[in-house]
Amino acid sequence: MQRRYLGLTAAAIATTMTMTLTGCGSGSGGDVTLQLVAADYGDGKSNGSQHYWDELARGFEKKHPDIKVEVHVYSWTDVDKKVEQMVDSGHAPDLAQIGAYADYAAKGKLYSADQLLSIPTQANFTPSLEEAGEYKRVQYGLPFGASTRRLFYNKKLFAQAGITAPPQNWNDIAHDAQLLKAHGVKMPYALPLGPEETQAETLMWMLSGGGGYTDSIGKYTIDSPENVRTFTWLKDNLVGKGLTGTDPAKLNRGAAFKGFADGDVGMLNGHPTLMKQAEAKGIDYGTVDLPGTKGKAKATMGVADWMMAFKQNGHRAEAGKFLDYVYSDKNVEKFSGEYGLLPVTTSASQAMQADDKYAKMHGFLKQLASAEFYPANKTSWPLISKTVKAKMGTAVHPNGNPSGVLTDIQNTADAADSAAE
């Protein structure tokens, strides 16, 4: 994910990775040591993901003393690259919890979900997430941590500007942003199209305008009329009128979230972790479904990170036992609660929905079933994501050309898809 849901702090682990895995012999004759490389969801050492995984691994080992689990946690800045290096050097980990799976699946390096998991475990994934984990209709990516997006607004700033209800459509956004600007709000609408997470903000706006990255059969539709209309509207009605407070191409998501928590942003699209950030600074906020052209957007954006199991070391049965344990309700609920994410299983989602302790998460959770995800099942997606990061900010510049930028990205996408065939 590129960065995923949080402004994540690197928690580089000082442990030296043991690149070759023990198939047997580290103890009694049948012992196996699984290596898992995972991403860090914490915002500091005190709540880093290493703590979660160490505790989970110890619990698993008590039940399965013949299987050891070594977990190495890296920041989101480094983790995908680390796994890529390990695979390229011929020393793939048994398990990786990272941002993308499709390229490894396309190269035949991964076990499929049905080769790993018990039937109850595989059947328990939220259907939209299970589908997002499929490459050529076979599930290789096991969802691990999910989120959806909603529009956040600062209730105090809205009240001061005389705004009595949150925006429901694009006209409301433009109107409310004008009122916020007139009352001195530094950034009436934060539009982070800087390189940190451009591909996310882009998809949210595509969906709110009735478009998306792909059509129903997975063909890229980046330069569709709906998408051109969306970014032309942003250019003319928000950026061109000075309602974003700064050049969107230079605003990263982390800075936009900080601005909201500091009380300098009137509204922006956000995910569940922004709630904790805002509450820590005493911001009174509300959230609503993403506004669309006439009413709420056709869908919100969903994001998932992925667990996958590599074939190289032949530890299919042991990895499967561990994954069944990872995806137990207790462990899924603990991880989701700790890091402000949505559960990836149906049973854990139902438990969260029924628990008033998670009331502020319920709006995000209700959207998950119909959320639309990055086309992560396409091997071309990492390149397209990188291209979107490099170019989309220029599309909404007052002197920009949305149609031209979207066409350039579409051409790159078409060429990448043709090369992959």
Average pLDDT score over residue span 178-201? 96
Instruction: Report the C-alpha gap between 64 and 41 in whole angstroms.
Output: 27
pLDDT band of 15, cuts 50, 70, 90: very low
- Identify the pLDDT of residue 196: 87
Average pLDDT score over residue span 1-13? 37
Instruction: Please report, to the nearest 10 degrees, the dihedral formed by the alpha carbons of residues 79, 85, 86, 92 taken in order.
Output: 90
Closest by CA position to 283, among listed 266, 257, 261? 261
Average pLDDT score over residue span 58-73? 97
Residue 283, pLDDT > 90, answer yes
- Identify the pLDDT of residue 387: 96
Average pLDDT score over residue span 269-283? 93
- CB 154 within 8 Å of CB 284: yes
Average pLDDT score over residue span 127-136? 93
Instruction: Report the C-alpha gap between 171 and 237 in whole angstroms.
Output: 9
| 134: phi then psi, degrees, rounded to nearest 5 | -95, 135
Question: What is the pTM for the complete model shown?
Answer: 0.84
- Identify the pLDDT of residue 140: 98
Closest by CA position to 264, among listed 346, 173, 189, 186? 186
Instruction: Name the average pLDDT for the chain.
Output: 91
Joined tokens for residue 205: 């706006």
Buried b (16+ CB within 10 A) or exposed e, 209-232: bbbbbbeeeeebbbbbeebbbbbb
Residue 26, pLDDT > 90, answer no
Residue 7, pLDDT > 60, answer no
Residue with tokens 């060429």: 415
Instruction: Report the C-alpha gap between 231 and 392 in whole angstroms.
Output: 9
pLDDT band of 419, cuts 50, 70, 90: confident
Average pLDDT score over residue span 154-158? 98
Closest by CA position to 310, among listed 162, 104, 131? 104
Q: Which amino acid is at 307?
A: M
Note the pLDDT tens digit of each residue in 217-239. Answer: 899 999 999 999 999 999 999 99
- Identify the pLDDT of residue 76: 86
Closest by CA position to 253, among listed 201, 189, 180, 181? 201
Note the pLDDT tens digit of each residue in 73-129. Answer: 999 889 999 999 999 999 999 999 998 899 999 999 999 999 999 999 999 999 999
- Identify the pLDDT of residue 421: 66
pLDDT band of 46, cuts 50, 70, 90: confident
Note the pLDDT tens digit of each residue in 237-254. Answer: 999 999 999 999 999 999
Note the pLDDT tens digit of each residue in 285-311. Answer: 999 999 999 999 989 999 999 999 999
- Identify the pLDDT of residue 55: 96
Q: Cα dist. 1→146, 173, 224, 386 in Å?
A: 11, 28, 25, 11
Note the pLDDT tens digit of each residue in 371-380. Answer: 999 998 899 9
Label residue 137 exposed, middle or buried (CB < 10 Å: 0-12, 13-18, 19+).
Answer: exposed
Instruction: Report the C-alpha gap between 258 and 156 in whole angstroms.
Output: 17
Residue 11, pLDDT > 80, answer no
- Identify the pLDDT of residue 30: 56
> Which residues, other chains included, contact 335 with Cβ-Cβ below 8 Å and sequence gap of 6+?
52, 145, 341
- Identify the pLDDT of residue 18: 36
